[in-house]
């Protein structure tokens, strides 16, 4: 793997498929493996940001896209030393309209990422559930896409459209873009449909489908309300174990053999992801 960060867009135009859950928890597991990881929240809903306890952030991805602020200035530290987050916010809602008038509008995020050099080893981008300019920026900036796929019939229809979009971007804007893998989410092996969808996806995409499957898990659903990835909220849960395995598979794909780098020192990053949270207080006592 090259010394520059490997950039992965976590994308699916269908909502509710575990896209943000995957971006948030995969980033945490990569960080736990001592690989400096940057999570960029490109979704105006800002769920990936709040999943790390970052709300109403003063500095956001909007500032990098529109005002050309350095990404490292927009990044925040988290409870995991090796994971930083560039949050989203309400300002991002209007960014697609503002980007229309910008030069090289599809490459704004790519230019920001290139400017940070070797600060991180892996960058994950949580994309909005649409195929607008924000997602296009993410695809143009990425080396590969990771597609969370819920095991249901309608997800298969959306997958075909997404693969077509990836191929279009690859042919016209970003020739290095490829499908890194498809991860099956919300899997319930007791459900016949889940098994049928999995069999069909594996039959069509082969080894592009990760061996690891993410199960339906209540602890995964609870973790965001506490502003923590699953590794910090309940490391012993089935959801945590699944994302650790997924991170292992991804790292094996990337063939990371160099010693882990030290995470960059942020200019103005927060020691705590949330100013109103005392990390020393028990969870039940937090506001």
Q: What's the pLDDT score for residue 282?
A: 38
Q: When comparing pLDDT for 155 and 1, which is higher?
A: 155
The verdict on residue 285 lying in a domain is no
Position 259 in a domain: no
Split into its structural domains, the chain has a count of: 1
Dump pLDDT digits (tens) for 178-225.
999 999 999 987 878 888 888 999 999 999 999 999 999 999 999 999
CATH number at residue 201: 3.40.50.300
Q: Is residue 60 part of a domain?
A: yes
Q: How far is CA 212 from its chain centroid?
A: 17
156 confidence band (pLDDT: 50, 70, 90): confident
Domain presence at residue 88: yes
What pLDDT, on a 0 to 100 scale, did the predictor assign at position 279? 34
Average pLDDT over residues 115-140: 93
Query: Is residue 278 one of the residues assigned to a domain?
Result: no
Given a contact cutoff of 8 angstroms between Cβ atoms, the answer to whether 53 and 274 are in contact is yes
Does the reported pTM lie above 0.85?
yes
pLDDT digit string (tens) for 235-276?
Answer: 999 999 999 999 999 999 998 656 666 777 775 544 444 433
Query: Does residue 19 sit within a domain?
Result: yes
272 within domain boundaries: no
| 133: containing domain | 6-253
């Amino acid at each position: 793997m090259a010394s520059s960060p490997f950039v992965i867009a976590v994308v699916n135009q269908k909502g509710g498929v575990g896209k943000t859950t995957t971006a948030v928890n995969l980033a945490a597991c990569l960080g736990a493996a001592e690989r400096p990881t940057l999570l960029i929240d490109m979704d105006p809903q800002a769920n990936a940001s709040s999943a790390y306890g970052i709300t109403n952030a003063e500095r956001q991805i909007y500032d990098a896209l529109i005002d050309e602020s350095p990404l490292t200035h927009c990044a925040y530290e988290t409870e995991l030393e090796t994971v930083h987050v560039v949050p989203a916010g309400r300002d991002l809602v209007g960014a697609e309209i503002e980007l229309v008038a910008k030069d090289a509008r599809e490459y704004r995020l790519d230019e920001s990422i290139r400017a940070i050099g070797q600060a991180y080893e892996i960058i994950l981008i949580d994309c909005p559930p649409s195929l607008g300019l924000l997602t296009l920026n993410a695809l143009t900036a990425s080396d590969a896409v990771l597609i969370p796929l819920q095991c249901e019939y309608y997800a298969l229809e959306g997958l075909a459209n997404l693969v077509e979009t990836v191929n279009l971007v690859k042919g016209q804007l970003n020739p290095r873009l490829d499908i890194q893998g498809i991860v099956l989410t919300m899997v319930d092996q007791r459900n016949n449909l889940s098994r049928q969808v999995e069999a069909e996806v594996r039959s069509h995409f082969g080894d592009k489908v990760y061996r690891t499957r993410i199960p339906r898990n209540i602890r995964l659903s609870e973790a965001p309300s506490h502003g923590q990835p699953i590794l910090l909220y309940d490391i012993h849960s089935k959801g945590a174990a699944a994302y650790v395995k997924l991170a292992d598979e991804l790292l094996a794909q990337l063939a990371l053999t160099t010693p882990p780098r030290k995470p960059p020192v942020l200019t103005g990053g927060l020691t705590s992801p949330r100013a109103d949270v005392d990390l020393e207080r028990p969870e039940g006592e937090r506001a």
